Structure 1
Amino acid sequence: MSAERAEDHHFQEREDDPEGEDFIDPNDVLIELAEDGDHPMDDDEDGQGPGPEDEIVWEDNSIQHFPNHKGSVFAVSTHPTAPLVASGGEDDLGYIWDIVTGDELVKLTGHTDSVTSTAFSSDGELIATGGMDGKVRIWRRVGKEDWNKWEFLTELTGPDEVMWLRWHPKGTVLLAGSNDTTVWLWQLPSGNTMQVFAGHMGPVTCGDFTPDGKRIITADAEGTLIFWDPRSPVPVFKLTPEDQRFALDGITSLAVNPASTLAVVGGTSGGVRVVSLSKGEVVSALAGHQEGESVEAVEFVELAPPVPLSGTAAPAAGGVVVTGATDGKACIWDLGTMRLRATLEHEDAVTSLHRLTTPGKGHLIVSASTDKVLRTWDARTGTLVREHKGHSGGVLAAALGMAGAVVVSAGDEGVCLVFPTE
């Protein structure tokens, strides 16, 4: 879950209960009614109260749970090889816990506001947490034999409020987007600032390294997309809403294809744009989501086996991408033809999408939703493979773990659950 959505979550709670407690203004009382001995309203007609058949029973097919957070859970991430999860929440805390047992291993303290981002480095030796307090805190594994022991390493400062965190795909370099329009790049374990990118006009809502690790792509709430060389503070190119082909209102999500040649960008307007990273221009607009419904997630999928090293088979042009929005739809797009292949349905907003990277499983994708359910789909056909139920609140974030065998979810009710993906 992004820091922007976490902030909206806080605002909604304050709006519902502005004083932090229930109260009645005496001037609002129209008439007082005397007690007449009537039964409470929750009793049934015979005055016996609700029976066992009236109790609500939540369906739960999870295989593990982690209930230690005291408030909504906004972020989960999984270790690249070990059965570990890092979660962060509204209680200003992060945790490292065991996927298999559900046991708490480490409490990640030091934040003074909600923890909205957690991320393991590509080698699994470091864990970063980012919060609404602007802090980025780093822990490292202690020793080489035990994955369960971690120690605090350093605190990185600079951002006003951390919107998201991403590690370099091959090194210990950390990227962060801030609410104050800046993007920060640090070298770990030294904690030295490598670059501060300026050029956005609004909160930097999403960003990442390209899969090849050579470039950085970031986007903001005002609708600007910037492509960077990590070694330079000057953009490689910038797309803004002044170009009507790129008018998305605010940008909420993006993803880059495995070849690092195309970016797919989603906006608050419900629009989706395909951008050529080599040319720095929009090559297509994809219209499948309801107008005005924010595109919250973008994920590429793999529908064919990798091209043989002999080069006798040509790769599919463009690839296949899935976009998920607050209209409850996940749309599967063929970027070779720029056409819609299938539409996947949730009953409420889609909050995240996750492609299995296990060999031979690249066609499977897991979607999470505020309808309290996660679903595994076959992106080749759009058919439902499995439903994952157990949350009593909306699913705000998710991550695949244990080589794609499980999906870990973060619930608005404060619980993390673990499900088998198939």
Structure 2
Amino acid sequence: MWDVNSGERIHTLLGHLEKVNDIAFSPDSTIIASVSGAFDWYQDFSVRLWNVQTGEELYILRGHRDQVQSVAFHPTKNLLVTTGLDGKVLMWDVDEILSSLNTVQQSSMTLFESDGWLGDVTLSPDGSYLSVIGNSDALIYEADTLEPLIELDRDSEQGTWLYDAEFSPDGNQLISVGHESVLIWDLSTSELQEVWMLEGLQSVNQDNFPYQIEFSPVDNLVAIAVHDQIQVFEYSGKHLLTTLTSHDRSMDDLAFSPDGKLLVSASLDGTTRLWGVPTSEE
């Protein structure tokens, strides 16, 4: 953990036996959830909860049988959702976990299982919808009923391989990024609203390429990582504001600060970089 203002490292959270694949802050910013797993003999397919203030490991959550790929807190309920290469989507009751004296828990509820791997999971701002990237028949589900809202035809353009997806801040759209385009989905009609072609997206020819996308929480901006560059757009008009270049390799993740003034990028070149928004000031 780092202090953004000073650049000082505050905590190093030690406990996972394999690489950490994703982290998430709780809505009140008091807890960090982290998930791990790799093709290694340790088989640390765990979810871990940490105290933000002290850096102390609070609980180890076990329920996945393979690498845990993604984690997300519910925005309005004290729940945690995880996905893994075992094809499971698990939900954890954080209040129940925190009230237990047992620091190793397996008290999860399986929302559903897929025949293949599952990757990125995200919830809409009001918690009504759940999006899951991976080998699933649907892209978006009703969070309460788990009824598919948008199903994918794998043989069509809509079924193109997807790497990341984010809900718009107003919760009316989901924007997903794949091999050749950005797909914008209208949640009110459950239809593909627009196919958005980005410069550089078609020129990259690598399997399992980690495109990333992130909405600003306060401005009408969206950041999209394509290879070693970040393109920042004014979303409604699809107008390119700036291209951020400094990383030497592709990026694993993007995140805006809560006030939308900073963008952080984490890259396979081993660096994490902070950027001013929407200028290209590093």
TM over 0.5: yes
Say yes or no: does 1:139 pair with 2:92. yes
Displacement of 1:218 in angstroms is 4.7
Displacement of 1:98 in angstroms is 1.3
Q: 1:175 to 1:100 in 2, by over 3 A?
A: same
Amino acid in the other structure paired with 1:67: L
Q: 1:213 to 1:77 in 2, by over 3 A?
A: same
Displacement of 1:127 in angstroms is 0.5
Say yes or no: does 1:176 pair with 2:147. no
Say yes or no: does 1:115 pair with 2:30. no
Unmatched segments (≥5 aa) in structure 1: 1-59, 238-276, 307-318, 385-422
* Partner residue in 2 for 1:7: none
* Partner residue in 1 for 2:169: 211
Say yes or no: does 1:162 pair with 2:118. yes
Unmatched segments (≥5 aa) in structure 2: 1-6, 38-43
The 8 Å contact of residues 301 and 321 in structure 1, kept in 2 or not, is answered as: yes
TM-score, normalisation: structure 1: 0.52
The 8 Å contact of residues 217 and 228 in structure 1, kept in 2 or not, is answered as: no
Q: Distance in 2 between matches of 1:368 and 1:291?
A: 22
Q: Distance in 2 between matches of 1:154 and 1:212?
A: 28
* Partner residue in 2 for 1:72: 19
Q: What SS does the aligned partner of 1:142 have?
A: helix
Displacement of 1:80 in angstroms is 1.1
CA-atom RMSD, angstroms? 3.6
What percentage of residue pairs aligned between the two structures are identical? 25
The 8 Å contact of residues 230 and 245 in structure 2, kept in 1 or not, is answered as: yes
**More relative contact order, 1 or 2 (CA 8 Å, 6+ apart):** 1
Compare 76-85 and 169-178 and name the one that shifted more: 169-178
Matches within 5 A, 1:388-407: none
Q: What SS does the aligned partner of 1:225 have?
A: strand
Q: Distance in 2 between matches of 1:295 and 1:135?
A: 21
* Partner residue in 2 for 1:287: 199
* Partner residue in 2 for 1:341: 242
Amino acid in the other structure paired with 1:227: W
Higher strand fraction: Structure 1 or Structure 2?
2
Say yes or no: does 1:353 pair with 2:254. yes
Q: Distance in 2 between matches of 1:69 and 1:219?
A: 30
Q: Distance in 2 between matches of 1:216 and 1:156?
A: 21
Amino acid in the other structure paired with 2:226: A
TM-score, normalisation: structure 2: 0.75
Say yes or no: does 1:369 pair with 2:267. yes
Q: Encode CA deviations 1:224-280: one digit per residue, 9 max, x unaligned.
A: 8362537x7xx423xxxxxxxxxxxxxxxxxxxxxxxxxxxxxxxxxxxxxxx4xx3
User: How many residues are paired up?
Assistant: 258
Amino acid in the other structure paired with 1:75: D
Displacement of 1:125 in angstroms is 0.5
The 8 Å contact of residues 224 and 232 in structure 2, kept in 1 or not, is answered as: yes
The 8 Å contact of residues 71 and 89 in structure 1, kept in 2 or not, is answered as: yes
